[in-house]
Structure 1
């Protein structure tokens, strides 16, 4: 059987000016995981439109397309094209699960939820000539998965080819989170066995890893055993965690001993009222400043995530957030405009209140306002979002953040990482076009290898954000 798997480009990744490096970071691991279930004799290809052109001239037996909300238009376009040729087309992913009736108009079969149980069932029924039009995931387990087909990935086209996922979902249920809708109908957080995770890590070449898990530290027992098993492997790795788990005694130290050098942390907001509104319970009454100090004291870089436009946000939120993040010495920050994705509780609330402005999925990219904010105009929210990015990544802000580091080496690493991530995006675009992004990996490893050795004593007192009465404590 000839199988073509496609990850269509996200709308925001197709800028005519330059393509940010973040869209060439990771290969399509989900498709490579599904490919592991195919027979050895099947002819399989994976095309990631972020780094490759989709060749639509061929006519495979089966086309499988992974769909996100801002790639939906392109995904449906490709699906309709192949179906017109008589090719059997399957659609799956977050957007398909959220809006199955919409997706079903463009596919022979749709998949709702994770694919570990439903994809093998589909393949079996397809080979018998009786595939169903819809498969809904119910049985959630990562036990006994076949090896990921990494041989189908063009490693040189990605800065971080060694991406890995050892769990699914998240133990928390934040109202704005898209993933919660994806896991409806079954377990929403589950892990591999530790032995299987370690075996997958051992198969990966080089030193650097990036765990794409929504919450790698979400199961403390699993994470502890995983980190114990990784000690001595000589790996340098990055991952995502929560404020709550960073403050948990002992777990972070084990992660650092195993090679953790950078952590993505969902701070989300400096307004405490927003946390309760969005059911972000794991952040309520947490000391944000202590989180950053704890990570920095262990030599771990911080990539903080912030969302603007929640109902407690007014026009002051942008400057206050940036000022706090820069003052804390946060190496990188990711800003978003609150986006009510279909299938989430946030969307249901906004829709019931008549606050949704439109359903143009191309614009649901966390860079544009798609709902009516409570204390801001749409223009204020979009302009404030852009200003936050601009102000955080000014050279002056980068240098001010670097000054919070206690050593010259730490200051240099801060400038190299923060500056390299945002200030050189046009150069990254040239590397993407020349298909040489992978050449940047040694530089990334060099920067990361310098972390993990910071002194425990901090030389600077990190102050509170303004308006203490309405902000998260720091």
Structure 2
């Protein structure tokens, strides 16, 4: 059986001007994981359109397309093309789960939710000549997960080829997150066994790892055992965690001892009133200053995530957010315009209030305003979003953030990481187009290795009297 698996490019990644390095940062693993269920007799190709062109002159028997909201138009275009050529087309992913009726118009079979239970059932049905039109995930386990088909991944096209996922979902229920819709009907957070996760890590060559888990620290017992098992492996790794997980005693120390050097943290907002409204319970009453200080004391760089446009935000939120992040010495920041994705509580609320401006999915990319903000115009929200990026990544801001670091090594590390991420995008574009992105990996590893931790007087949970930005 000839199987073609396609991850269509998100809209921004196809820019004719330059392509942000984040789309060539690491290989997504969803389709490569499903490919593990195919047999040795199957002829399988996997195409990530973010890093390579999709050939459409072939004639596969089975085409599998993973659909995100801003790749929906492109996904349906490819699906319609291959159906016309006689292939059986399968569509799955976040957008399909949110809007299954829309996706079904372009597919022979659709999948809702994660595919570990439904994909093997579909393959059996397809080989027997009786595939269903729809498969809904209900059983949630990673116990029998086959090895990821990394041989199908073009490793040289990515800056960090060693991406890894050891859990699914997140234990939290934020209103703006897709997760609740995607995992409806079963567990919304579950992990591999520690031994299976460590075995997968052992199979990865090189030194650097990038955990793609939504919340690697979500199960403290699992994470603690995983970090214990990784100690001594000599790995450098990056991941995502929450404000709450950073402040938890002992767990972060174990992560650092096992190689953690950079953490994506969802601060989301500096306005306390936004947190309860978006059900961001894990951030309420947390000292944001203490979070950054704790990471800095342990030598971990911070990628801070912020969302603009929540109902408590007015036009002052952009300057206040950037001022706080720069003043704290945050190395990199990721800004988003709040986007009500279909299937989320936020979308339902916005629709009921008549605040949705349109359903052009290409613009549901967290860079465009697709709803009516409460305290700004849509244009003010977009302009403020772009201004925040410009202000945070000005050379003046980068130097100011670096000056917060107490050592020259820490300051140099900050300058190299922050400037390398945003100030040299034309150079990244050249590397991407020349298909040599991975040649920058030794430089990234060198920066991550220059850990500049200071020895704090205490490393436990900071007290409320420490001051700083708090959720309330």
* TM-score between both structures, scaled by the size of structure 1: 0.97
What CA distance in whole angstroms lies between the structure 1 residues aligned with 2:165 and 2:347?
28
Cα distance in 1 between the residues matched to 2:313 and 2:467: 21
The question of whether the paired residues in 1 share the 8 Å contact of 2:290 and 2:468 is answered with no
Question: Deviation of residue 179 (structure 1)?
Answer: 1.8
Give secondary structure in 1 for the equivalent of 2:161: coil
Q: By how many angstroms is 1:292 displaced? A: 0.3
Change (3 A) 1:177 1:113: same
Task: Report the alpha carbon displacement of residue 464 of structure 1 after superposing the two structures with TM.
Answer: 4.2
CA displacement 1:31-63 (0-9 Å, x = unmatched)? 000000000110000001011000000000000
* Equivalence for 2:305: 305
- Distance in 2 of aligned mates of 1:290 and 1:453: 15
Give the match for residue 418 of structure 1.
418
SS at match of 1:90: strand
Q: Which residue of 2 aligns with 1:468?
A: none
Distance 2:52 2:12 in 1: 16
Partner of 1:32: 32
Q: Secondary structure at the residue paired with 2:160?
A: coil
Aligned to 1:55: 55
Match of 1:129 in 2: 129
Give matches, 1:69-108, under 5 Å. Answer: 69-108=69-108
Tell me which residue corresponds to 1:472: 471
SS at match of 2:305: strand
- Please state whether the residue corresponding to 1:318 is helix, strand or coil: helix
Distance in 1 (CA, whole Å) between partners of 2:428 and 2:87 is 36
CA deviations on 1:291-340 (whole Å, 9 max, x unpaired) are 00000000000000000000000010000000000000000000000000
- Whether the aligned pair in 1 keeps the contact of 2:308 and 2:381 (CA below 8 Å) is yes
* CA contact 1:256–1:452 (8 Å) conserved in 2: no
Deviations 1:259-279 (A, max 9, x none): 000000000000000000000
TM-score, length of structure 2 as denominator length:
0.97
1:472, distance to aligned residue in structure 2 (A): 2.6
Query: Hey, what does 2:166 align to over in structure 1?
Result: 166
RMSD of aligned residue pairs (Cα, Å): 1.3
Deviates more, 1:200-209 or 1:448-457: 448-457
Q: How far apart in 1 are the matches of 2:141 and 2:242?
A: 23
Instruction: Mark the runs of 5 or more structure 2 residues left unpaired by the alignment.
Output: 459-465
Matches within 5 A, 1:387-426: 387-426=387-426
Aligned twin of 1:378: 378
- In structure 1, the partner of 2:119 is 119
Q: Structure 1 residue 5 and structure 2 residue 5: aligned?
A: yes
State how far apart, in whole Å, the 2-side matches of 1:46 and 1:275 are: 40
Q: Which runs of 4+ in 1 moved over 3 A?
A: 452-455, 462-465
Shift, 1:16, TM fit: 1.2
Cα shift at 1:26: 1.5
CA distance in 1, matches of 2:27, 2:400: 34
Residues of 1 paired with 2:259 and 2:453: CA distance?
Answer: 11
Pair 204,448 (structure 1): closer, same or farther in 2 beyond 3 Å:
same
Secondary structure at 1:274's aligned position in 2? helix
Matched, 1:267 2:283: no
